[in-house]
Chain A
Amino acid sequence: MFEFRLAKDEIGVISLEKRARITGETSSNFRKWQDTVDLKSCSRVILDGTNIEFIDSMGIAALISIYKTIAAEGNDLVLVNLSEEIKKLLNTLRLDRLFIVKDCSVEEAVKNSC
């Protein structure tokens, strides 16, 4: 369900194959998936929210888990293409202080031009 690719300069991009809700069940699959990819050696990780339809508290826990992995190396988690509802949720939870939320395309985020 989740896809990971490396853009230039060890920048990781996480996206969803198709539109999905990230909830309790998917987030446990997500954890397993997270163990299979090497986020630690990425200098920046970009999460493409295009296909995230809805996210519940367990989904948020999954995002925090990615953030914790990346932040431990001193690197950034950048979220792009999020729906307005999800942005509002991140703001309510004050998570927009931890994650970098941007209104730009994945390509721009990779180039760090936004």
Chain B
Amino acid sequence: MSRILVVDDDLSVRVLLKSILARDEHEVVESADGESAFSSLSRGKPDMILLDLMLPDYNGLDILNELKQDRELESIPVIVLTGSADRESKLTALSSGAVDFISKPFLPEEVILRVNTQLKLHDLIKSLRIAVDNLENDVLAAGKIQNALVPQSNPQGLAVEWIYEPSYRVGGDIFDVFKLSDNRFFVYLADMSGHGVNAAMLSVMVHRFIEDFRIGMGDRDFDLGVFMKELDKSFVFERFNLFFTIVSLIVDLEEGIVLLSNAGHPSPLIQRNGSVELLDRQREGLVGINMIRGDVAKIPFLSGDRLLLYTDGLIEVMNEGGEMFGEDRLIDLVKSCSKIDIKRTSGRLKDSYESFKGDALAEDDITALLIEF
């Protein structure tokens, strides 16, 4: 049962419509002109309006336009009542937001069918909107949780800047920076296959796992090779039908070395003395499909050297012409920033891929971490 406002100056039409709609137990509120229709609307919102286009005080189309501009009333479906010959105003009414029209004279069955169809449609749209809103809110909340997992501030003693941008509200990238001791830091960046909710859930599990692993092993004995093998063993592909890539490292400021293990992840960039190179030390496959041997590369560094870790979302940013941002552009950009600090470099990197992307849609999550020794 719905409440329907019938606006028509012809009493016989109103009475007829009322009796037709009463058969389906719809409650009818009547108005003989525009003025009384508006005062009825101010007293309560009907579920639908049947609106005659020729009223003594108003043009029906003007009423329609006013309804559509009112935030409270614009969602009420309006069916216009017109003379059968009046094709022009039918079209104008439909393009002004009426959902349907009924031509006079009408058959009772037609009125019932059109009214009920539109009421049903309206209900469906309304429940769809609520469902989408709920889903959106859930994902927003999940995004907040995921965001709370990545570091909120720099760990003392290591100069590091980052960009963390999921393509949707949540994403499949995750990273962390831990202080193991005064001079040793553990950093990882992982990218789950896919993006969106399932990838985000896996990323949260990976993050949690790594935290537990670190606590279990103890910061002093933290071993990168063992860590990588353990990840591979624990996230078997068959369990989620997902895998991930990860680059993990231990920065030892006292010894002046980085221990690095890369499983399927894009090669980090290293910048020293003005030159920027891909640090291709990768010998291992994807985590989750038992390809990890725990190989660790030992890379010496000098004070002032920089290391950039990033997910493939960064080099695969696509512009509107379908061209990729690419490694070369990234290398050139990092090179051009050698004289400015890492905070500004990170800002410039973000500006650069964003202006490259233009109005193209973001397809993948983007994460980048810039470390200066």
Contact = CB atoms under 8 A, between A and B. Distances in A.
A58 B238 CA distance: 14
A64 B239 CA distance: 13
Contact of B289 (A56, A64, A92): A64
Interface string B212-235: 000000000000000000000000
Interface string A49-61: 0000000111011
B245 interface: yes
Contacts of B192: 57
Q: Taking chain A's interface residues, is the majority helix, strand, or loop, or is none over half, making it mixed?
A: helix
B241 A95 contact: no
B194 A97 contact: no
B242 interface: yes
Contact of B243 (A56, A61, A92, A97): A61
Given A94-B264, A94-B283, A97-B285, 19 more contacts: A31-B241, A57-B191, A57-B192, A57-B243, A58-B194, A61-B193, A61-B194, A61-B241, A64-B243, A65-B237, A68-B237, A68-B238, A92-B264, A93-B245, A93-B286, A94-B285, A95-B285, A97-B291, A98-B289
Nearest to B288: A64
A95 to B, nearest CB: 6
Contacts of A60: 193, 243, 286
Q: Which are the 3 A-B pairs with shortest beta-carbon distances? A: A94-B285, A57-B193, A58-B194
Interface string B333-373: 00000000000000000000000000000001000000000
Interface string A25-62: 00000010000000000000000000000001110110
B284 interface: yes
Contact of B286 (A24, A58, A94): A94
A88 B282 CA distance: 14
A20 B284 CA distance: 29
B179 to A, nearest CB: 31
A54 to B, nearest CB: 10
* Most chain B CB within a 10 A radius of its CB, from A57, A94, A95: A57
A58 to B, nearest CB: 4
B286 A65 contact: no
Nearest to B194: A58
A92 B192 CA distance: 16
**For chain B, which range describes its interface: under 10, 10 to 19, 20 to 34, or 35 or more residues?**
20 to 34
Contact of A61 (B242, B266, B282): B242
Contacts of A31: 241
A61 B287 CA distance: 12
B241 A24 contact: no
Given A58-B193, A61-B193, A61-B242, A98 B237 contact: no
A68 B291 CA distance: 13
A31 B193 CA distance: 15
B264 A93 contact: yes
Contacts of B191: 57
Contacts of B285: 93-95, 97-98
6 contacts: A56-B194, A57-B194, A58-B193, A61-B237, A68-B289, A92-B266
A42 to B, nearest CB: 19
Given A57-B193, A57-B194, A94 B241 contact: no
A81 B266 CA distance: 24
Contacts of B364: 56
* Most chain B CB within a 10 A radius of its CB, from A58, A61, A97: A61
Contacts of B286: 60, 64, 93-95
B208 to A, nearest CB: 21
A24 B237 contact: no
A58 B289 CA distance: 14
A68 B239 CA distance: 12
B195 to A, nearest CB: 8
A56 B211 CA distance: 29
A95 B193 CA distance: 14
Nearest to A72: B238
* Most chain A CB within a 10 A radius of its CB, from B241, B264, B282: B241
